[in-house]
Chain A
Amino acid sequence: MCKKILIVDDEPHIRMLLEQTLEDFEEEGVQILVAENGKEALEYIKAEKPNLVYLDVMMPHINGFDVCNIVKNELKINDLYIVLLTAKGQEFDRKRGLEVGADLYLTKPFDPDLIVEKTEEVLKIKL
C-alpha cells in the first residue's frame, strides 16, 4: 500500500507551499492528499488512512486541536504522525498540543528543509 501524506490548511497558499515542498515525495510513490478544513481532514483520515498529516491549528469550526484529539483519543488511530502547524508569534498552547496527542509542532513560516527532513524520517524514505 502506498504511503500517504495529508495536508490540512484553510489557507490555499499554505496548502500550495506544502504541496510544493513535498512534491518530490510523489516521485517515490507517496500520495499527497489535501484537505481545506477539519471536517474534510477527518473524512480523509478515516477513509485514506494517511501516515503523516500536516495540520493547521487555526481553522474555523473544527480546529487542528480538535482534529488531533478526535483522531488520537476518540478514533484511537495511533499509527498516524501528526504535525501541528501554527503561525509564528501566535501563542501556541504546548500543553494543549501534548494533551491532544500531537507528535510534533512547527511554526509557520515553516522551514521547507525541516519539513522534508521530518517527512523522510516519518515515512522512512530518503530523497
Chain B
Amino acid sequence: MVDEVNLKKLVGKSDVKEIVYNILREINIEISLLDLQGNIILGTKRKDGDLEFPIKINEKIVGWVIGESKASVIASLLSYIGNSELDKKLLIKETLNKYREINLLYNLSEKMASTIEAKEISKIALEEATRLINSTKAEIAVFSKDRKRLEKVVELNNHNSISDEVGLSNYVNEVLDQGVGQIINCLDNSSESMVCTPLKVKDKTLGVISISNSNNMTYDSEDLKLLNAIATQAAIALDNTNLYDSIRDTFLQTIEALIETIEKKDSYTAGHARRVAVYSISIGEELGLNRSEITKVRLAALLHDIGKIGIQDKILLKDSKLTGEEYEVIKKHPVFGAEILENIDQLKDVVPSVRGHHERYDGKGYPDGKKGEQIPLIARIIAVADAFDAMTSNRPYISNKEKEQALNEIFKNINTQFDPVVVKAFLKRVKVW
C-alpha cells in the first residue's frame, strides 16, 4: 500500500538499521521491536520492568519499542523516519499520478491526431474517459451549426441509464452557461451521479462531455480534473475538424462553381458531368476501388470537360457539323482542363485523369496517344461513362439512341476504344439499374 509504511521494511533498510544500532551502543541499552501483532522484528525478548513506547506514523501506532526508559528515543527516531518515509511515498504517488496524466494526454492527442472525423475523436475521448472514470454512460454533444441545439455525437452506454428521465440535461445547460465543469452526485436523491464539463477552445464552447453512473456512486474532484484534461484535448481536436470541414466545404464549393461555369456556357452539357460522375463511381465501386480512389473518380468525372471553357463559343456551341479544323480545336479541351486544374493543389491527383479521358485503349486517342495501362484507370473509366452518357442523353449533335444500342456500341469498341475490364464492370452495374 502506498499510504502505509511497513515497519519491518523500514528497519530492514541498512542505513536505518545502522543508525539504530549505533545509538543503542552509545546509550548502552538493549531493546526489542514489536509489530502490531506482537511479532519481534528486532532485538531480544522483553525483560521484566521493560516499558513500551509506541512508534507512530501519521498519528497511527505501527509498532512498539520495548525497553528501559531511554528506549523512548528509538521510538521517537523511528516515528520520525517513518513519517518522512510516508511523506516521500505520498510525493512519489503524486508524481506517478502526474505521469499517468501526462501519458493519458500524450496518448490521447496522438490518437486524435490520426483522425479528422468528429465521431471518431469523440469515441476516442469517451473510451478513454470511461476507462479511467467509473461510469455506466458517457456522451459528447456539440452545438449545431446555428448554435441553437446540442447534438449528440457519440454515446457510450454500458447499462440502461435513466439519466435522461431525471433531467440531467438541466445541469448540462448550467455547465454550458457557466463554462465550467460540475460534479452532480446522487441527483435528486436518485442513484444517478454525473460529471460534466464544457468542450472549450480559447473562449469558444463547442459542446459538452459528460459521464454518469447510475449505481449510487459519488464522483470527486479527481474525476472532474481527469475529465477536464480529456475535454481540453477533445475540444482542440474537434475544433480542428471544424476547420478541416470548412476547408473541405470551400473546396467542394469551388468544384461546384467550376462545373457551373461550364454548364452556364454550354447548356447542352448541363447535367452531363454529374451523370458521368454517377456512372464512373459505380464502375469504380465495381472495380473495388477504395474510398479515396472513389473520391478522385468523382472529382475527375465532374471536371473532365472543364477545359471546354477554353474553346471558342462559335465552335463549342456550333449546331451543325464541325469542320476538321474545328474538331482539332475541340480536341484541345482535355489539355486545357488539365492546365486549369493544375492550379489547385488538391486536384493534382485528378489532372492526369482529366487529360486522359479521350485516350483510346488502342492508342489512337488524344491528346497523347497513350494506350492500354498507360492511360490512368480513372481516365479509362470516364471514357466509358462519358461515351454512354453522350449516346443516351439528348444532345443536338447526336441522335437519341436507346440504352441497349449504346451498350452494344460500347461493347463493340472493347479493346479498341475502351478497356475491356472497365466495360465489363460497367455492364455488370447497368444490369442492376
**Additional 10 contacts, C-beta under 8 A, given A20-B89, A20-B92, A111-B100:** A16-B92, A17-B96, A17-B99, A20-B2, A110-B103, A111-B99, A111-B103, A112-B96, A112-B99, A114-B103
A79 within 8 A of B: no
Closest partner residue, chain A, to B92 (CB atom): A20
Q: Which range contains the number of A residues in contact with the other chain?
A: 10 to 19
CB-contact partner of B99 in A16, A23, A110, under 8 A: A110
Min CB distance, B362 to chain A, in Å? 51
Number of interface residues of B (CB under 8 A): 13
A113 at the interface (CB under 8 A from B): yes
> How would residues 76 to 112 of chain A score, 1 for a CB under 8 Å from any chain B CB and 0 otherwise?
0000000000001000000000000000000001111
User: Are B100 and A113 within 8 A (Cβ)?
Assistant: yes
Q: Identify 17 residue pairs between A and B in the complex whose beta-carbon atoms are under 8 Å apart, listed by A's number.
A: A16-B88, A16-B92, A17-B96, A17-B99, A20-B2, A20-B92, A20-B96, A21-B96, A23-B2, A88-B106, A109-B98, A110-B103, A111-B100, A112-B96, A112-B99, A113-B100, A114-B103
**CA distance in complex: A109, B94 (Å):** 13
B93 interface residue per 8 A CB criterion: yes
A24 to chain B: closest CB distance in Å? Answer: 9
Closest chain-A Cβ to B89's Cβ sits at a distance in Å of 7
Closest Cβ of chain A to B394, distance in Å, is: 64
Residues of A within 8 A of B2 (CB): 20, 23
C-alpha gap A21/B92 in the complex (Å):
9
Asked whether B95 is an interface residue with its Cβ less than 8 Å from the other chain, the reply is yes
Give Cα A88 to B346, complex, Å.
35
> In the complex, A46→B262 CA distance in Å?
80
Closest to A21 in B: B96
**In the docked arrangement, what's the CA distance between A17 and B99, Å?**
10
- Residue of B with least CB distance to A23: B2
- Closest Cβ of chain B: how far from A120's Cβ, in Å? 17
B19 at interface by CB-CB < 8 Å: no
Across the interface, which residues of B come within 8 angstroms of A21, CB to CB?
96
| Residue B102, interface by CB 8 Å | yes
- Distance from B224 Cβ to chain A, minimum over Cβ atoms (Å): 21
A17 touches B100 (CB 8 A): no
In residues 80-99 of chain B, which contact A (Cβ within 8 Å)? 88-89, 92-93, 95-96, 98-99
Interface core residue of B88, B93, B96, B100 (most chain A CB under 10 Å)? B96
CA distance A110 to B96 in the complex (A): 9
